[in-house]
Amino acid sequence: MASAGVAPSGYKNSSSTSIGVEKLQDQMNEIKIRDDKEVEATIINGKGTETGHIIVTTTGGKNGQPKQTVSYMAERIVGQGSFGIVFQAKCLETGETVAIKKVLQDKRYKNRELQTMRLLDHPNVVALKHCFFSTTEKDELYLNLVLEYVPETVHRVVKHHNKMNQRMPLIYVKLYMYQICRALAYIHGTIGVCHRDIKPQNLLVNPHTHQLKLCDFGSAKVLVKGEPNISYICSRYYRAPELIFGATEYTTAIDIWSAGCVLAELMLGQPLFPGESGVDQLVEIIKVLGTPTREEIKCMNPNYTEFKFPQIKAHPWHKVFHKRMPPEAVDLVSRLLQYSPNLRCTAVEALVHPFFDELRDPNTRLPNGRFLPPLFNFKAHGSVAADLQRAELPTPNRMPLGKYYCDYCDKQFQDTPAARRRHLQGVQHQRARALWYDSIRHQEQHGGASSLLLPDGTLAKGICHHFVRTGACKYGDSCRYFHPKPDGVNPALAAPGPGSGPGPMVQQSDFIGNQPNFVGYQGADRNSSSGNILGVHSSWGNLPPSLQPPPEGGYPPLPFIDWG
């Protein structure tokens, strides 16, 4: 550990010996060091602006290395808070610009941030260059961490785009988020550290190369299973729900939640969950994710049993973001922001998500034509590289989006909001769904679910899905599967007569949460027994969610179109 001293006025010889212990003022935001009048620089403190100040420290002296004198000229404050102060400085020997974080140090304990920073070595984590202690006239001890200086933060980049009334280019969203995941994969997997304060203000960005670095490890900790931790941690907008529920045995998944909040903020231009208090923060989360189930609450905090909240349905993710937002981006957010910590994808799993496929294209460039910063040099970090190898990176689409199977159409397709919406609103799906229920009613009319009778009176093996999808079957009447008739029960498929167009339709969530769903005509008595879907069809047994029955009376009439 180096000592620190104050350079006298007119100090020029950088090779001289250490001058003594630095004496600072009582206020942490007042760095009162003797001025070097020959240097044209200023430092801003609580009482105004003063000219440049010089801090002289010594380094080396271990393992036979000679001691060296290093002097830093303070230039300006770049951040301050309850933790202490961060100011920009310049090393007079090398001309390098650095950031010095000055925090009050309890003499009884080691500084956890210093212990953590000494372990870190990653291109997406801010580097510790040097550290030294300083004291005040009241014998207060301060730790000074000399860090590499990165001029911008993700927070200021988002504010800049908002000020320009622009959305952040998607390539930057991908680039920043990928580097966040790289940093988390490193500290979680290689070092075993949980950051516990992921937020845009702690994500530094080089505005020229767009390389991102994670900073501020003042809240970071190695989480040991079975050992309690404080739950009042992490900035509110980015606080994981298990912390709000008071969990003390949480995991690094709280960083994953915070990263999901950052991704959503990059996409929206504003925080996704802007709670004004701890309770309000939970309300904001429930507005989007819906009320957590008992199982989800148990996963977040097994000791929490007093949760009582109105049952609110989850808001569809594709409605949270702009309609032009790629479904891969929405899918990644949904994987990061899960109530159950064990259901959130890990940082390594996020790295192989299809949302980042563009970054793996060697022809991808920044909007200004420059190359991307280094993103795939994982060899130096063994555990992350091994995890990625198991995840089969960089082959694209190794974590495919979910597959959606439509029971009515007997068809499987990629489950994205746009694809699902197109399918569910398509004529083919509406016809197949109505025909499926016709067959169910036909079963009831002929003695139950086991009675699918063919024209010759024999029992069918089941419903002919090919006929349901296409309206035709190459086997014709000899097919041993049941062919439901479109004009049998449900009038929704009949050709409309004169003046029989559809009435005004109402979009409403049904009892299983399918939204939107055309549930009938405006003005119908929804409180009557005929509108009780669950009661009317209770004899049908437990159908899959996608096969829950339609409202009594069927769907609004559709124009008759030949099957094709």
Question: Catalytic residues, which ones?
Answer: 197
- Alpha carbons 401 and 392: distance in angstroms, whole number: 16
Residue 144's φ and ψ, nearest 5 degrees, are -115, 115
Asked if residue 159 belongs to a known ligand binding site, the reply is no
Burial of 541 (0-12, 13-18, 19+ CB in 10 A): exposed
Find all residues with CB under 8 Å of 167, minimum gap 6, and list them: 161, 269, 322
- Alpha carbons 112 and 109: distance in angstroms, whole number: 9
3-state secondary structure 285-321: HHHHHCCCCHHHHHHHCCCCCCCCCCCCCCCCHHHHC
Tokens of 543: 């159908």
3-state secondary structure 488-550: CCCHHHCCCCCCCCCCCEEECCCCCCCCCCEEEECCCCCCCHHHCHHHHCHHHCCCCHHHCCC
CA distances from 414 to 403, 404, 407, 418, 544 (A): 5, 6, 15, 10, 19
What letter does residue 217 receive in the DSSP assignment?
Answer: -
Residues paired with residue 90 on neighbouring β-strands, in sequence order: 73, 97
Find all residues with CB under 8 Å of 283, minimum gap 6, and list them: 275
Which amino acid would we find at residue 182? R
Element (H, E) at 193: strand 193-194
Q: Does residue 432 contact residue 408 with C-beta atoms inside 8 Å?
A: yes
Q: Does residue 336 contact residue 166 with C-beta atoms inside 8 Å?
A: no
- Alpha carbons 531 and 520: distance in angstroms, whole number: 10
Burial of 504 (0-12, 13-18, 19+ CB in 10 A): exposed
Tokens of 64: 């036979």
- Alpha carbons 442 and 463: distance in angstroms, whole number: 11
Element (H, E) at 75: strand 68-81
Helix (H, G, I), strand (E, B) or coil at 446: coil
- Alpha carbons 120 and 115: distance in angstroms, whole number: 9
CB atoms near residue 304 (< 10 Å): 14
Peptide bond into 8 cis (omega under 30): no
User: Which residue ranges make up the annotated binding site?
Assistant: 102
Detail the residues annotated as belonging to a binding site for ATP.
Answer: 102
